[in-house]
Structure 1
């Protein structure tokens, strides 16, 4: 299939505008504005590969309890470690 270009010859000859350069990020501004997906103070991020069916069950349980999967996992880990002592 052939691609059709709807730009006229005059538009092609016209110089393009450059995108504005983003402001420089300093360490001070980085500390004040947390990044998207940043880990909260006092927390650590954990990544684990789990079976798809277990993930689905966790999501369903979290929805039924109106909680996050993170809350369920933290509660389960605390319970597991408490019972190990």
Structure 2
């Protein structure tokens, strides 16, 4: 398969990660009924949800930080 003209591996990683990662995060936080825009950031669980969701304009460093935060914050 050929790559698109404007292909970058970083953007491709971020696009795939956003789709898969956010699905995982939303499943884990399925008990939180507020929409992403209406989260109560004074409650720890909703603040953690907001901090872990990948956004379109995230840098690669922030993407990795969000992943690390979730992986280290959840109980094993």
TM-score (norm 2): 0.29
Higher fraction of helix: 2
Higher relative contact order structure (alpha carbons within 8 Å, sequence separation ≥ 6): 2
